[in-house]
Amino acid sequence: MPSHRYRDVHSRVDVPLASREWPNRMLEHAPLWVPVDLRDGNQALAEPMDPVRKRRFFDLMIAMGYKEIEVGYPSASRTDYDFVRLLADTDIAPEDVTLVVFTPARRELIERTVESIRGVRNPVVIHMYTATAPVWRDLVLGVDRTGLRELILAGGRDVLEFAGDMPNVRFEFSPEVFNLTEPDFALEMCDAMTSLWDASADRPVILNLPATVEVASPNVYADQIEYMHRNLARRDAVILSVHPHNDRGTGVACAELAVLAGAERVEGCLFGNGERTGNVDLVTLGLNLHAQGVDPMIDFSDIDEIRRTVEHCNSIDVHPRHPYVGDLVHTAFSGTHQDAIKKGFAEHRSRAAAESRAASDIAWRIPYLPIDPADIGRSYDAVIRVNSQSGKGGVAFLLESEYGIVLPRRLQIDLAREVQVRTEASGGEVTPAEVRDIFERAYLEDLPVRSIELVDVETTAHTTSVKLRAEGQLRTSTHSGIGPVEALTAALADFGLLIDVRVLHQTSVASGTDSEAITLIEYRSEKSTGWAGGRHRSVLAASLAAVMRAANRAHAELDADTRAVQGDRHEASLSG
């Protein structure tokens, strides 16, 4: 790799910050959020949004609670201009929502932009930008620092000329590619704009400092923001804003550290759409705060509907591993993860019961799940999914969460082996319904031929009478001083079948017939140890059915051994 062709950002931008305060700060409240999907995100789409999609996206952001929205680049296209006019001529935008319009520092484009907002009843921000970094000055604009200063101030004067008397309009300036601009020059231009626009506490100016192309680690961006935060003139009349991109994959970290460093406002896109690798993701930023106990001030309670709308408007699918919203982000396939999650849910329910509170009110501490999926409208259906890497915890969780079937630990292990046979054969995952089917086939399904049949059980205060039929014989036995299950195993012993019930576990089925009981037993026979189950509306009938299923399996094993011995003797006689 020709790494020698590139230089570390420190060699290009030396931030004069001898000490820094941001590493000792904590995120304690949400910044001002400004989604730029309708402008910055839209211009990065292969097929920009038509008016219908723009309107749907705008309505979504209003419903989520965003109070400042960049609505377009009116001088760039007729579609954007018409959309801003739609907002001006109707009451689509609630009165407390600030609309932001974007323009370069060019007189005719500024004039066109001001025309688009004339008559808007909402608060409006005119956002003027110019690239300030050396490479852009040299290669794109062809001016030096002095020439660029005059270009920017001329644009600022044009903004005042066309919109300075509009009482509902404020101003924003972005030194584009701020993060690659010399700190002293960025500070000089920002102070010049706040002076020109006469920034005051009553009419503050927004200074937006974009990491237009992310080229450094997040701590460098934080240093740059803190330098500006400390040194800006009229600081109490400035709203300090950031606009990180994601070229290095650390846009979210850049935004979070920038807020620690003094930024009060963050521009970005829902799910991180934008040029190249995109703008910073406002959904991830907001839910990161939520996961730390800080109210993001935005409603993410129906994340799937938010995703569907954004995917439709952008014509871009959200990745299944995207933080918080992806289809798989709350899903565990690994056996160790599944076991930990299952135990976490069990402990969560226990704490809720102990405190006599709803589970949704109890502090969240489930392994591997940073937030409760229910907070964002997700069910627990997909929290655990089973494939060949899964273990007993995942299999047990699916049965319990979907059907209310609670398995004892050793049966979890046994069933996991059965499921793994299926998944390794198919190479894919299994659904909850398929896990239940495997469970029923393994433990509740009768053998094709039942060698022994339970005809009747009668109980009185002190005795139990058991009637069995085997190989045409009907035999009744009476047993005193023991329960029906023990009486049945004693009656089976009279037929030469020793069934020792080591564990008897009772559960129920939560779907279908709500009153249906399942009894699961771990048994030891003459040949092996295994599990068998019985299902019935009566708990006793389910328990007796489980014992009989075990007895028939044990009898089938004995028959198989007998046939094997007879076969060996037959072969021996032929060879003799």
Is 126 in contact with 114 (CB distance < 8 Å)? Answer: yes
Q: 391 pLDDT exceeds 80?
A: no
Are 267 and 135 contained in the same domain? yes
Are 286 and 367 contained in the same domain? no
**pLDDT for the residue 456:** 93
pLDDT, tens digit, 9 for 90 and up, residues 437-473: 999 999 998 877 778 899 999 998 789 999 999 877 8
**pLDDT for the residue 536:** 92
Are 305 and 385 contained in the same domain? no
Host domain of residue 253: 21-314
Are 437 and 481 contained in the same domain? no
Residue 388 — pLDDT band, cuts 50, 70, 90? very low
Are 229 and 114 contained in the same domain? yes
Are 410 and 537 contained in the same domain? no
Q: Where are the beta strands (DSSP E) in 430-489?
A: 452-459, 463-470, 473-480
DSSP structural state of residue 34: E
Are 498 and 428 contained in the same domain? no
Cα(262)–Cα(25) distance, integer angstroms: 10
Mean of the pLDDT values across residues 127-132? Answer: 98
Are 404 and 469 contained in the same domain? no
Is 300 in contact with 263 (CB distance < 8 Å)? Answer: no
Q: What's the whole-number average pLDDT of the chain? A: 90
Range with the poorest average pLDDT among 33-47, 494-508, 512-526: 512-526
573 backbone dihedrals φ, ψ, rounded to 5° = -70, -35
Residue 241 — pLDDT band, cuts 50, 70, 90? very high
SS (H, E, C) 128-164: EEEECCHHHHHHHHCCCHHHHHHHHHHHHHHHHHHHC
- At residue 126, the 3 state secondary structure works out as strand
DSSP structural state of residue 522: E
SS (H, E, C) 276-306: CCCECEHHHHHHHHHHCCCCCCCCCCCHHHH
**pLDDT for the residue 514:** 58
One-letter identity of residue 256: E
Are 500 and 546 contained in the same domain? yes
User: Is there a domain that residue 574 lies in?
Assistant: no
Domain-terminating residue out of 281, 314, 347: 314
Are 300 and 422 contained in the same domain? no
Number of domains the chain contains: 3
Q: What is the pTM of this model?
A: 0.75
Q: 572 pLDDT exceeds 70?
A: no
Tell me whether strands 265-268 and 238-244 are parallel, antiparallel or unpaired.
parallel
Element containing residue 211 per DSSP (H, E): strand 205-211
Q: Residue holding tokens 């709803």?
A: 358
Mean of the pLDDT values across residues 412-431? Answer: 78
Tell me whether strands 124-131 and 98-104 are parallel, antiparallel or unpaired.
parallel
Q: What is the CATH number of the domain that holds 470?
A: 3.30.160.270
Cα(338)–Cα(402) distance, integer angstroms: 15
Q: 145 pLDDT exceeds 90?
A: yes
Is 186 in contact with 218 (CB distance < 8 Å)? Answer: no
User: Is there a domain that residue 320 lies in?
Assistant: no
**pLDDT for the residue 402:** 80
pLDDT, tens digit, 9 for 90 and up, residues 35-93: 999 999 999 999 999 999 999 999 999 999 999 999 999 999 999 999 999 999 999 99
- Closest residue by Cα to residue 536 from 551, 522, 518: 518
Angle at 76 between CA 75 and CA 79, to 5 degrees: 95
- Got the DSSP string for 338-394? HHHHHHHHHHHHHHHHHTT--GGGSPP-BTTBSS-GGGGT--STTTB-B-TT--HHH
Are 243 and 369 contained in the same domain? no
**pLDDT for the residue 566:** 47
Which of the pair, 215 or 561, is modelled with greater confidence? 215
Is 369 in contact with 347 (CB distance < 8 Å)? Answer: no
Residue 345 — pLDDT band, cuts 50, 70, 90? confident
Who contacts 262 (Cβ-Cβ below 8 Å, separation ≥6)?
22, 225, 226, 228, 229, 230, 240
Residue 574 — pLDDT band, cuts 50, 70, 90? very low
Are 94 and 193 contained in the same domain? yes
User: Is there a domain that residue 329 lies in?
Assistant: no
> Is the four-CA dihedral 551, 555, 560, 562 of positive or negative sign?
positive
